[in-house]
Structure 1
Amino acid sequence: MPTRNEAPEALAKFTGSLVRRAQQRHVAVWLSEVSAEITSVQYAALEILQRAPGVNQRQLGDELDVDRSTIADLVARMVRNGLIERSDDPVDKRSYVLFLTAAGKKQLAVLRPRVEEVERILTARLTARESAELRRLLAALLPERAD
């Protein structure tokens, strides 16, 4: 049986194990530096809606790479919390378009420097080139999007 110090080394050869551990670290740093109320996915939604106000729920879900039920729950929660508002899509009456509320814009402005601090903390032991390479490699693990 491997000793306690050998176990992480043995698991280090598995990409999935490293990605999971990195995600756990991200969540812990997020909770300590950013917010226990706003998740990183909610923050990403705020950023997208700042950049592209009026996208519909499906487009937001596609941008976030989440399924229909997840985006519906996410949007409902963010509407309930006063961060975004939805209105009928003028082109397709069966869907909604989404916008940041004043509170959502304020929250985004407050959170952005904290999110940048999370990035700094997570990549503190990497050079700028290594950070860029890490993001490139992680993106390469994801399936291609059918835009």
Structure 2
Amino acid sequence: MTTPSPLSALTTRNTRLFTLLLERELKKTGLRIGQLPVLQALQDGKTLNQKALADFADIEQPGMTTLLVRMERDGLIQREPDPTDRRSTLVTLTSDGQRKSRNIVPIMEHLTDIALKGFTPLERDILVTLLERINSSLKEQL
């Protein structure tokens, strides 16, 4: 068995550690990591239908349905029939969902500061640039 390249091993490990820390911090606010795309898409009072949310989050419709049912149960979103399309449901954040979603950016910034502790501003900029180039190269393969 061959070992993974240092790049793939490191990025996998970094992603896992960041995700674990993010999940821990979000849990304190009553949020889950899987809810982030919906909260992001609906920020600033936006209203979207379920298909648009599934497209934004890049997940299948059945998975989005399950996620929205749970978020509605938890009081984060509200769903209403689309007056222009009977088959569609419009989704918005509740006031509690809006309030809780305001915690996301400070949490992400805090975790980023932890991850980049000791990095100079130039090193941070270089790292972001390199990661963007990697993402671009990988997207080309999809």
Give TM-score, length-normalised by structure 2: 0.78
2:128 paired with 1:128:
no
Q: Tell me which residue corresponds to 1:39.
A: 32
Q: Tell me which residue corresponds to 1:20.
A: 12
2:110 paired with 1:117:
yes
Of 3, 21, 46 in structure 2, the residue corresponding to residue 29 of structure 1 is 21
Aligned to 2:85, the other structure's residue is in SS state coil
Conserved 8 A contact 2:51-2:61: yes
In 2, the alpha carbon distance for the partners of 1:18 and 1:68 equals: 32
In 2, the alpha carbon distance for the partners of 1:21 and 1:103 equals: 33
Of 45, 53, 68 in structure 2, the residue corresponding to residue 75 of structure 1 is 68
Query: What is the RMSD computed on CA atoms of the aligned residues?
Result: 2.8
Conserved 8 A contact 1:45-1:64: yes
Q: Tell me which residue corresponds to 1:142.
A: 139
Q: CA, structure 1 residues 18+112, in 2 after alignment: closer, same or farther (shift >3 Å)?
A: same
Conserved 8 A contact 2:39-2:101: yes
Q: CA, structure 1 residues 143+72, in 2 after alignment: closer, same or farther (shift >3 Å)?
A: farther
CA positional deviation for 1:54: 1.2
2:45 paired with 1:49:
no
After TM superposition, the runs of 4+ consecutive aligned structure 1 residues lying more than 4 A away are none
The percentage of aligned residue pairs carrying the same residue is 25
Letter in 2 for 1:23: T
Q: Which has the higher strand share?
A: 2
Aligned residues: 137
Question: Any unmatched runs of 5+ in structure 1?
Answer: 2-6
